[in-house]
Structure 1
C-alpha cells in the first residue's frame, strides 16, 4: 500500500508558500487556547516519554492535554465503546491491526483535512520522513492517511551476554534453528530455574500476535494466502508451529501465562538468557532500577528462519476522533503533528520513546547511546519488514480471539499442531466467509 502522492505533494507544496514560511505552532494554536483534548495511552515507555514532553506543548499552545492510561488488552474495547456510545476521546490510539476497523466504521478522520489546511499544517511536517512501512501499516487504510506513527515497534532479540559467554557462546544465535538446537540445551537448567528463552504467550493478543504469528513468517508460513484462505496447513506454517512446540522444552514452565512484563522481567532478573521483544522495552531492560543485567544486556535483530529475517512488526499511530468537536479535532491535530514531528523526535527518543522518523536515526551519537536502534532500523527496511505481519482488516479482533484460543491449546498439548492448525483455519475461514470475503462483497486488499 502506498500513501497517495497527492497527500505528500500537498504537504510539500506548503513549504513554498509565504504564509507557510511564517507558520508557528503558537499562532496556529491561538484560536484553540483553553481547549482540552483527551488521549488514550498505554503503560509503556513511549507514553511516559510523551507525558514528559507534553508540558512544553501545553505551555506553547494553551491547549490542555489529558490522557487515560490503560493496559493494552483494554484499550481497543475502551475506544470502541467510546465511538459507539459517544464519549470523551479526541486523540485515538490505533494499533496496526485496528486501522481497518476504525477507518471502515468512520471513527477516525482523514488527516488530509488538517495537513491540507495551511493554518494548521506545519510546513516541516514532511510525511516522507516517516519509515514507509510504519506510515503505511499503522496510519494508512485504503490509500488514505488516518494517523501518524507514534509508538513504533520492531521485534528484537534481547540477550544476556554473560549467560551466553558462560555457556561457551561468543554471540547470540543467528537463526531460530541455532537457538533451538544449540543454545536451548546449553542454557537450560530447570533444577536451577534457568532457561534459554521466553516467548510471551499469554492468551489474548499476546498469544495471537507475539507468539503465534511470530513463528509463521520466518519459516515461510502465514495465516492466510493471497485469496484470504487459511494457509496454516501449509508445510511452511506447520514447520513454524512445530518449532514453537519444540522450543517450549527450553522455556520456563507456565510460559502460556507470560505477557510482555513477565518475559521482560525474566530476562532482567537473570531467569532466562534470551527473549524476542519489542524495541520499546529497551529502556526498561537498560534501567538498573528495573534490571539486574544492564552490564550484560545485548540486543540484535530477531533470528533468521528458513525464509530469512522476518521480524515481528507492531506499533501504533495517533489519529483524531471523528466525533470530537471541530476545535478539539484541530487541537488534537496540532498535538499529534507536534509529538510526532522531526523537531521533537530526538527529545522523544531520549525520553524513552521510539520515533518513526528516519532522520533522527542518522544521529551517530544516538546510535552509540542506544544500541537497539541499528537492529530496529534494519528490521524496518523494505526487504525485511512484513507490513501485514498481522492482517490489518476490520475482522482481525475476532480472529485474534480464535487464534489465541487455539494457539494456547496447541502449546499446552491439548491439540496437536496439525489438528489445531486445521481446526483454527476452518474457524478463520468461517469468519471471513460471513464477512463477505469469498463472495466478492469485500475487496481482498487494502
Structure 2
C-alpha cells in the first residue's frame, strides 16, 4: 500500500478515535455510572444527611466523580454552603464548585448561559425577577423528581415552605410547574444605631415631643426624615456622621429602596391579579400616575435629601459598608447584612445595632422581599440533573437551614416552616429579651418575621419584561433625586415610557 495513503488512513483512524473518546468522556457525565460495590446501608448518622428522605437501598455514591457547577449570589447562605459542601463531596463523591458572584454578575452569567443553552451551570440560584420570569422554560421542572420513588424526597415538600415566598420563588404564571425550591429569604428591614438613639432619646423628646426610636407604628417616613435631620444637626460627627443612608445609585438598589416607600403609601406600579405573586407575562394597568405614586416620589426625594450626600452614588453594598464603619445612624437594607454588622473583629457597630421593620406610610410598613430559589439547568445532562436534585434536597433540608441560621457567618432565616419549631429559635421568638451574646445570630429574627407578615411584606411585580420596566423606573428615579426633578413630570415620563413597552408588544 502506498505509504502516503497508509499515513492518511492512520490519521483518520486517530482522529475518529479521539472523537469517540471525547464523546464517551462527555457522555460519562450524562449517563449512569455503575459502581463496583453498591452501597446498600448508608451510615449517615452524625452528618447533614442523616434526616434526608432517601429511598431504601439508595446508593449515595452513584454520582461519584461528577462535577456540578453552582452559580449563586455572594450572600450568607452561599457562604455557609461553601463551607459545608466539603462534607457533601466526601459523602457523595460529587465535586461541587460554588461560584459566588455579585448580583449583577450573577444575572449576566446565568442569562447568557441560558441563551446559549450551554448547561455550564447545572445548579442555579434563580432570582424570580431577573431569571425565573424570563427563563422559566430553560429550567428543569422539579415536580417529577420529588414524586419518583427512586429519588430522594424533600420532606414536607412543598407544604413545609412559606406560602407567599413559595409562590414568588418557585412558580411562574401558574402553580402547575415547580421550577425552583426556595433557597434564601432576604428581606429589607431597618438597621439603626441603638446606642445613638438610647443616648439622645431624651434630648430629642424634649425638643420634638415624641420618641424617635424606630419600630413603632408611629414611626413614619416623615418622622424618619425629621429624625435623620436632627441627628445630622445635633450628634457630633465623631459619633456618627449622617442620620441616614440610602441606595439611590442607578442600580436595582434604587428600585428596591423606593418600592418600600411606594407600597407603604398604598401605591404600586401596576394593578393586576397575581402580578405580585405567581406573575404574568406582561402588565396591563399602569398605576404610576395615581396620587399615591406621586406622593411616594415626593417623600422619597426628601428621604434621600436628608440622608448622606453619598446616597445618590450608593447601592446596598455601599450603604452597608458605611453603616458598618459607623458613618450612618439608620438605613434600610437586606437582613442578610446582619452578621456583617455583628462581626466583632471588623465592624465598628457590633453590639450597637437595633433591628425593626421599615417606617410606616399612610397605609402600612412595606418591606420588600428578595428571596430566590435553587433550580436545575434544563440543558444539563440527565445524570447531572439527578445529582443536582440530590444536592438540592440536601441544601434546602431542615437541618441545613438550621445550620445556616446558627452558623457564625450565617443568620439567613429558613424558607421552611419546620425549622422554626427548633427549641432555641422558638424560645427567642417568644422571649427575645433572653437572647444571649452567644446567640447573636438571632437578634434580627423578630424584625424579619414582622416584615414577613402579610400586612408588612411587599412583593414587587413579577413579569417577563421586568428588566425593561425596571430600567425605566431606575433611570427616572435616579435622575429625580440627583437633579431634583419635579415629581409630576417624573411620573408622566415613567408612564409614557411604560406605554411604549406596551405598544411594542
- Unpaired runs of 5+ residues, structure 2, are 1-50, 202-210, 273-282, 429-434
Q: CA deviation at 1:176?
A: 2.8
TM-score, L = length of structure 1: 0.86
Shift of 1:187: 1.2
2:247 counterpart of 1:200: yes
- Give me the whole-angstrom Cα distance separating, in 1, the residues matched to 2:344 and 2:447: 22
Deviation at 1:150, TM superposition (A): 0.9
* Aligned partner of 1:66 among 97, 120, 128: 97
Cα distance, 1:224 vs structure 2? 1.2
Does the aligned pair in 2 maintain the 1:285–1:291 contact within 8 Å?
yes
Give the C-alpha shift of residue 107 in structure 1.
0.8
- Alignment of 1:95 with 2:95, yes or no, is no
Q: Distance in 2 between matches of 1:265 and 1:245?
A: 23
| Separation of aligned partners in 1, 2:147 and 2:54 | 14
Q: What is residue 248 of structure 1 aligned with on the other side?
A: 304
Out of 179, 202, 214, the position equivalent to 2:223 is 179
Q: Deviations over 1:184-205 (max 9, x none)?
A: 2221149837222112122121
* 2:346 match: 290
Q: CA RMSD in A?
A: 2.3
Residue of structure 2 aligned with 1:384, choices 452, 456, 462:
456
Q: 1:230·1:426 contact (CA, 8 Å) conserved in 2?
A: no
The answer as to whether partners of 1:361 and 1:373 remain within 8 angstroms in 2 is no
Structure 1 or 2: more strand by fraction: 1
Contact in 1 for aligned 2:139/2:179 (Cα 8 Å): yes
Q: Give CA deviations for 1:253-286 in whole Å, capped at 9, x if unaligned.
A: 1212111221112212221111111111111111
Q: Deviations for 1:168-194, whole angstroms, at most 9, x for unmatched residues?
A: 257325333353354122211498372
Task: Give the TM-score normalised by structure 2.
Answer: 0.77
The match for 2:141 among 87, 110, 134 is 110
Secondary structure at 2:90 match in 1: helix
1:312-353 deviation per Cα after TM superposition (whole angstroms, max 9, x unaligned): 111110011000001111111111121111122211112203
Three-state SS of the structure 1 residue aligned to 2:159 is helix
Equivalent residue number for residue 447 of structure 2 = 375
SS of equivalent to 2:152: coil
Residue 165 of structure 1 aligns to a residue in which SS?
Answer: helix
- Distance in 1 between residues matched to 2:463 and 2:152, nearest whole Å: 29
Residues 1:306 and 2:362 are matched in the alignment: yes
Q: Distance in 2 between matches of 1:230 and 1:270?
A: 41
2:189: which partner in 1? 156
Alignment check: 8 A CA contact 1:256 1:411 kept: yes
Aligned length: 411
Aligned residue number for residue 322 of structure 2: 266
Residue 404 of structure 2: aligned partner: 348
Q: Name the SS of the counterpart of 1:264 in structure 2.
A: helix
Instruction: Tell which structure's C-alpha radius of gyration is larger.
Output: 2
The CA deviation at 1:307 is 1.3
User: How far is the alpha carbon of 1:30 from its aligned partner?
Assistant: 3.2
Instruction: Tell me the CA shift for residue 24 of structure 1.
Output: 5.3
Distance 1:25 1:139, change over 3 A: farther
1:32 is paired with a residue whose SS is coil
- SS of structure 1 residue aligned to 2:141: coil
2:283 corresponds to 1:224: no
Secondary structure of the residue aligned to 2:483 is coil
Asked if the contact 1:131–1:357 (Cα under 8 Å) also holds between the matched residues in 2, the reply is: yes
Q: What's the counterpart of residue 474 of structure 2?
A: 404
Secondary structure of 1:152's counterpart equals coil
Distance of 2:126 and 2:502 partners within structure 1 = 22
Following the alignment from structure 1 to structure 2, what is the Cα–Cα distance between the partners of residues 127 and 203?
A: 37
| Distance in 2, Cα, partners of 1:25 & 1:91 | 26
Counterpart Cα distance in 1 of 2:95 and 2:57:
14
CA drift at 1:295: 2.1
Cα distance in 2, alignment partners of residues 390 and 426 from structure 1: 20
In structure 2, which of residues 64, 68, 71 is the aligned counterpart of residue 40 of structure 1? 71
Whether contact under 8 Å (2:323, 2:329) holds in the other structure is yes
The alpha-carbon deviation at position 248 of structure 1 amounts to 2.1
SS of corresponding position for 1:27: coil
* Cα distance in 2, alignment partners of residues 25 and 331 from structure 1: 17
Q: How does 1:74-85 map to 2 (within 5 A)?
A: 74-85=105-116
